[in-house]
Amino acid sequence: MSARSNRDGGYRRKMSADGLPHRQVAEKTNRHSRKVHGFTRDSSCLRRTVSTFEEKVPTALPLLLDVVSGPERLPADEDSQEMLRGKLHNLQADSTEVNALFTELGIHLISIDSEEKVIYVTFKTFEEIWKFTSYYSIGFLGHCMENLLWDPKFWLSSLEEDIAIKVSVQEDTLHLIYKGILMQEGSLFARCSTNQMFDSSTSGGDLYLEKGDIAQFEPPFLGSGWTVLCLADGARGTAPRPGLELVVPFHQWFLKSCPESILIGDGKPSCDFPLQFASGTCLAASGYDAEGPDELSVAPGDRIIIVGILVSCCDWFTARKEATGEVGLVKTSLVKPSTDIHNSADFFLDGEEVTFFNLQEDKAIEETNALLKKKSQNDTGHSYKLDMISYQDADKKIPSSSSGKLHTQLTDLKRNIQRFLDHGRESLPPSVVTMHGTLEDADLASEAKKTSPPCFTVHPVVEGDNNTEIFILLFSFLEGQDYKIEFGPLYRLSSELLASSIFTGHSEEDELIAFLGVARETARKKRLLWSQTRLCFLLGKLCAGRSKFSQARVYFEEALSVPQEGFADLRLLASTYSNLVAIYLLQKNTESFFAMTERLVALLFGTPDCLECLVDNSALKYILKKAVLSHNKMAEARACHLLAKHHWTHAEGVRVVPYLERLLVLSTEAQRTWGISTSHEYLALGRLYSELRLPHLSVSSARRASQHPAATLTNCLSSMALLLSNVNRLNGTPEQEVTIPPQVAPYLHQALSSKKVQDGRSDRQHVLSHQLTVSLCQLFCKHRMVGHAIGHIHTLIESDGLPQRLPISVPERNSTLIWLAWLHVENKQPDVALDILDSVLASMPEHCTTLQEGVVLNMRGVAFRCMGDLRRAAESYEAAVDVCQEYEDMPNWAVAQANLGLLCLKARAKDLAQKHLTEAVQLFSELDGEGHESNFITVLLELGQHYVKQHQLDFGKGCYEWALLLAINANLLDCQLTATRHLYHLYGCENPDQAQCIIYSQHQVQLLRQTGDRGREGEALEAISQLYLTLGTERAYKAALDNTKTSLGIFIDLGWREKEAYGWLQAGKIYHLVNQTELVDLYVQVAQDVALSTGDTGFILKLLEAAGDIFFNSSKDRDKAITFYRDRALPIAVKSSNVRSRLRLCNKLTELMLSLKLYGEAVEFAQTSLDISQTLGECLNERVACHRLASLYHCLDQYEPAEHYYLKTLTLCPTSLLFGEETLYYVRVYMTLGDIIFYDLKDPFDASGYYHLALAAAMDLGNKKSQLQLCTRLATIYHNFLIDRELSLFFYQKARAFAAELNVRRINISPDQLNSSTSQYETTK
């Protein structure tokens, strides 16, 4: 059976990605309570004590979604919650979008419970949990769900409200999943929850770990105990049941990815200094003699100024002696706090660039203007509008506003428009803003400004040649204690670039190394110590580049020992340290590596420019390891920032992401910024996500950047640009599609609300305000929020801060006002629009026609038509046509001709309308290029409708099909739908063709599926099902059933309970038609249950009656209808006082019981029908009830009541007989009365009277068969009972004549008194 048929067995079953029903998924979650606790932002839920006993590990994590509002994030109103449930219903049906999102987030969908607003997800690796917790802590999950669930219109309607989606998780469940995955992987990092001893297998004694110590653990295997690896010294130990707390997922990932040579060793971090992240001044606690030029000698009591930051877990820090001003390294263990030392609230150093890239406000404004213009599709200022405006009283005169308040508003509007036009008469030339670059250009520009290093010629080294003049330029450049900006490339460039860009004249690096070696020796002899030092550094780099690491190490170590005084060039020192660290690490010289790394760390925490001198990230990873092991959050944040910036400068975006995410998580947890620009960090992260093609995360980063309290206008505009660059991938639309998405609305609104835009006086800011307003109004207009669009444009032109000369062009200014006029037309204010258009027209040159003048004239025609002034509308259209002819503007000419045709249709000038519309079609068909297809299709459909109304069906069909082909070619879904509906109506009503009707219905379903409108798709499938049912074949029934089940699935997913109930009922009806009776009762019962769950009495009554109709209108199992009518529906109708339904049910019950020969039971319902009909005063229903009562009494052999009700029925008939059916009814009733009197009551005389009346009616009707029967009966009566030979002969002869005409061979007038009227009635019936 198909997947869809699974819905038939359980109509409320929740969707599950792995096929499991919701009940099983709930069991998988370890039966946790539905109450969801807030997931703490410090991820403490993942640091629970790990039990050594087996625990049932859940596989599903429930994500609770809730719509919240306000700064306190309280639950929003019930309408918003219901909207969220509806969206989750849609995801239950089609989980494609949510799966795409969750793939990006690294989680896996299990099921969705829309009623509880819960999504169940699972994880496969701990990295997925790490990513999930990071995204959650940063606040991305809610924004991702908003992008997935918010309607386009909701983005616009909620601009003034602080509404968001809040995502919460169950802490215990997440912790258990995290622990279970780590246990499966076999190795994990955790901290000791208590002081504990482990049996050591390496040191010979016990391994002691204190509370809080982080180590690597391996779970028991085959009955063994837990194994521990101490990170301080690599010692191993075992314990049966250690007390552990899992580290947070980021630490788990970092420690697992950290090389063993960095991770293990260096002893336990010493944290004796009381402040973890100190700045200010400290005192020397003991004396120390420097062992090298990079260190400082101190005496007890010396005041030492901390350069940068002193980190308690690091062995060294950069310092300056207050007395002498010397700068160097000081051991952390040698100092103690002074009175003016403090924990730093900012981990950035003085002079350090805190951002990853430059953001300039002017550049951001220019790029935003260019991007919004590119995305905007507002052509109102230069394209004619097609008059398809339709609203009530459009054909009547709309009077101008007369109230005082409205008059004042219109007066103010005219004054503001005039002022806007007057300011624009001296407008500046339109500024041409192009966007050829990106924000990275700022970085490139700053790089270009850096001073280029000089270039030195390498001379061949000749043995015995003591000419030192060749080194003069080199020594003069390299000598000097202090750093010069020209030294930057020497320290930063790789050995290859160093050999090729700084030095020339050599063919091989060996020549360069030999040249520099001679130079080094010369400098040593001449005591040019700093030249010697830097030459040693260069030689070390070149040797390292050639993989001669031992030789390189010698040169670097010499560079550290040559100076006799302290290092003032700290970049040189940092570069030397970094190269030595890399070599020590490569040569596995662990002791030297840790010692040198500690010194390098001190420089990185003390000097902002040392980061660019790093060879690799090993020292930065070492910093982060020490910060994690010592639980120093500030140091961890600083290390993450340095790692992120290091990888950013090396264009390693993938490596930047985890550290930048962690930095934001730490900032969020601490609720402090630590001096970082949080908005900027989110923007940087968003850029990286965009490069990695993660649009949901990129857009969420942009949203977080703009929502930060400290976000500037530049941040907002940059966030908007980031969104626009990712929105096509986010929405699954083609990259080349240029439209402004609704998700941009909050950014536009925020930028317009910023103080700089509102109070700005610069031309650039006025242009920005104008472009932001136009873009926001386009969104309002697109989503039928015209009033909001009008309000924003009014605000723009009413601004008191308009400069004397507007920085926008005259055509652009006019376009804004023309568009405002059009918005007023759409807002049913054509008189206001006309005033605006007249003002624009008056501002144009009198003797110089422009294309915009034609646009204004055409729109004036639309306004006049909406006001009911057809004559002036025609004049305006004609004037617009003249402008088009003058400029040979074919697209607008076609629209103007179409408007004339539509106007003629309004005036009922059909021939003239057809002429203009045909001319418009001719003009459209001759156009090349794109952009006019929508208008062309609309005109074709209007012309097709005109032809169909004129019964020229072939022409109408041709127009419709042409329009459909154009819409398909242009990929315009809305136009395709409209054309398809016209063709469906044509073949369904005007020119019936069931096959064509089904074809176009199926095409309509495909189009609706593409648009994502599942509600209309379900309704279209219902219509197709009805079409197939009318065919009446077994194959058609099967197709109808398939379509019904598909629509049923849609209605279940959407939560449309009434549609769902009717879907179940329709499926049951089809099963009844194909004789699968075993399924009919099941489907009808489910339909009844769904109807009862709605609680709507009226709907329940309708559905129960419809269920009975299935059997009532069938020839099989008709008695089942009685149960639905009498036992279920009728009591509800009585209780709810639904008189109409009660009457209808009683009529159906009477008819049904009459056909089933349940005459006695039927009398009650027939009498009830008669009473209700009399109460309602409905003559027709009363007549029907009387006739049925008469028939019932007749069948029950109660002849007097039968005669009474038959006569009463005749009294209720109209006196003037307009139709033959009414006369035939008289014939049959009088004949039945005669039969009752003659056969049952044995009264031939009275019977003859009824027969005479029936014969008179039959003669009036001209029904010869009835006349034959009546003449035969009368002949029989007069011949055998009333003994009137003359009349007997008369009627006998007439009967013979009718018999001859009707080819009846024999007439029997014998007295057959054994017959009964009932048999006669049944025979006629």
pLDDT band at 44 (very low <50, low <70, confident <90, very high): very low
Residue 200 burial class via C-beta count within 10 angstroms: exposed 0-12, middle 13-18, buried 19 and up: middle
pLDDT exceeds 60 at position 801? no
Distance of alpha carbon 372 from its chain centroid, rounded? 21
Closest CA to 276 of 519, 627, 36: 627
pLDDT class of 424 with cuts at 50, 70, 90: low
pLDDT for 282 equals 94
**Residue 79 has what pLDDT?**
87
Beta 15-16 vs 236-239: how paired, if at all?
A: unpaired
pLDDT on residue 902: 93
pLDDT of residue 921: 95
Which of 1174, 1202, 1176 has the alpha carbon at shortest distance from 1188?
1202
d(CA 621, CA 1192): 98
The pLDDT assigned to 31 comes to: 33
pLDDT tens track for 574-586? 999 999 999 999 9
Helix, strand or coil, per DSSP, at residue 153: helix
What contacts 685, CB < 8 A, 6 or more positions away? 657, 660, 661, 664, 701
For residue 430, the model assigns a pLDDT of 43
Average pLDDT of the chain?
Answer: 84
CA-closest candidate to residue 250, choices 163, 332, 133, 147: 133
Instruction: Categorize the per-residue pLDDT at 461 as very low, low, confident or very high, splitting at 50, 70 and 90.
Output: confident
Residue 552 has pLDDT above 70, yes or no: yes
Residue pair 792/776 in contact (Cβ under 8 Å)? The answer is: yes
Q: Can you give the pLDDT at residue 391?
A: 63
Dist CA 877 CA 900 (whole Å): 7
User: How is 422-471 classified by DSSP, letter by letter?
Assistant: HHHTTPPPPP-----S-THHHHHHHHHHSPPPP-EEPPPP-TT----GGG
- Among the residue ranges 375-379, 541-545, 940-944, 1224-1228, the one predicted with the least confidence is 375-379
In the prediction, which pLDDT does 1316 show? 60
Are residues 1083 and 1068 in contact, defined by beta-carbon separation less than 8 angstroms? yes
Structure token digits, residue 555 = 């040169």
Q: What is the pLDDT, as a whole number, of residue 606?
A: 86
- Pick from 475-489, 710-724, 1095-1109 the range whose average pLDDT is largest: 1095-1109
Which pair of structure tokens corresponds to residue 739?
Answer: 């439209």
* Cα(255)–Cα(237) distance, integer angstroms: 19
Strand 456-457 vs strand 503-504: parallel, antiparallel, or unpaired?
parallel
pLDDT at 529 over 70: yes
Give pLDDT, residue 1312.
Answer: 60
Answer whether 877's CB lies under 8 Å from 900's CB.
yes
Which tokens go with 1195? Answer: 């069948």
| pLDDT recorded at residue 198 | 86
Number of alpha carbons in the 13 Å side-chain half-sphere of residue 481: 10
Amino acid at 196: Q
Phi, psi of 1050 (to 5 degrees): -65, -45
- The answer to whether residue 42 scores a pLDDT higher than 60 is no
pLDDT in tens, 949-964: 999 999 999 999 999 9
pLDDT band at 19 (very low <50, low <70, confident <90, very high): very low
Can you tell me the mean pLDDT for 1254-1269? 87
pLDDT classification of 445: cutoffs 50, 70, 90 = very low
| pLDDT of 745 over the 80 cut | yes
For the chain, the distance separating the N- and C-terminal CA atoms, rounded to the nearest angstrom, is: 46
Higher pLDDT, 1240 or 132: 132
The predicted pLDDT at position 386 comes to: 92
**What pLDDT does 184 receive?**
87
- 983-994 average pLDDT score: 90
pLDDT at 1239: 84
Q: What's the rounded Cα separation, in Å, for the pair 1 and 302?
A: 87
Q: Which residue has the higher pLDDT, 323 or 374?
A: 323
What pLDDT is recorded for position 87?
86
How far apart are alpha carbons 999 and 990 in whole angstroms? 16
Instruction: Enter the DSSP assignment of 1125.
Output: I
State the pLDDT at residue 986: 93
399-413: per-residue pLDDT in tens? Answer: 444 445 556 667 777
**b (16+ CB within 10 A) / e for 372-401:** beebeebebbbbbbbbebeeeeeeeebeee
Average pLDDT over residues 540-562: 91
Query: Given a cut of 70, is residue 587 above it in pLDDT?
Result: yes
What is the Cα–Cα distance from 198 to 219, expressed in whole angstroms?
14
Please name the residue ranges forming H helices in 1156-1243. 1159-1176, 1179-1195, 1199-1211, 1220-1235
Q: What is the pTM of this model?
A: 0.80
* Cβ atoms of 166 and 66 closer than 8 Å: yes
The per-residue pLDDT for range 344-376, each reduced to its tens digit, is: 877 677 667 777 777 788 888 888 888 888 877
Is residue 300 scored above 80 in pLDDT?
yes
Q: Is the pLDDT of residue 791 over 80?
A: yes
SS3 category, 248: coil
- pLDDT category, 389, cuts 50, 70, 90? confident
Mean pLDDT on 450-459:
73
The residue among 732 and 302 whose pLDDT is bigger is 302
The pLDDT value recorded for residue 52 is 44
Q: What is the pLDDT of residue 26?
A: 34
pLDDT tens digits, residue range 1166-1219? 999 999 999 999 898 999 999 999 999 999 989 899 999 999 998 888 776 667
**Pairing of β 61-69 and β 49-50:** unpaired
999-1017 per-position pLDDT tens digit = 999 999 999 988 878 889 9
What integer pLDDT is reported at residue 436 of this predicted model? Answer: 33
What are the structure tokens assigned to 959, written together? 């127009």
Task: Decide if pLDDT at 248 tops 60.
Answer: yes
Residue 1059, token pair as written in the block: 């549609």
* CA distance to 1106, 1127, 1164, per residue, from 1120 (Å): 12, 11, 19
Residue whose C-alpha is closest to residue 1011's, from 1053, 1051, 971, 970: 971
- Specify the DSSP class assigned to residue 990: I
